[in-house]
Amino acid sequence: MVIAALAGNLKAWLGLLTPDASIRHQILRMKFKRFINTFTLIPCLIVKTGRRIVYRIVGYNGYLKDFLKTFEDLRGLRLAG
């Protein structure tokens, strides 16, 4: 039960942090199974080059651009601690 609640919270947080209001509304209203298929099961190739690991996205869906924008915004956050 706790894991299911955490997963639902992650879905809600991603929806609330998405900058585009229409996409935010769509994410918040999504069923969890569709959320998993749309945002976490993104096919990609993992390529090791030199000292780096590069993730090349193979599949594309309409939400990918907004997802990556939200991810970059999250990386830029600095939490007080």
Q: What is the secondary structure of 53-72 as a DSSP string?
A: EEEEE----TTHHHHHHHHH
Q: How many independent structural domains does the chain possess?
A: 1
Give the burial class of 16: count Cβ atoms within 10 A of its Cβ; 0-12 exposed, 13-18 middle, 19 or more buried. exposed
Whether residue 16 contacts residue 28, with contact meaning beta carbons closer than 8 Å, is answered with yes
User: Residue 78 pLDDT > 80, yes or no?
Assistant: no
Q: State which residues form the domain around 35.
A: 2-76
* Residue 79 confidence (pLDDT): 67
| 32: in domain | yes
- pLDDT (average), residues 68-74: 87
| 65: in domain | yes
| 67: in domain | yes
| 81: in domain | no
* Residue 39 confidence (pLDDT): 87
| pLDDT tens sequence across 11-62 | 999 899 898 999 999 999 999 999 999 988 989 999 999 999 999 999 888 8
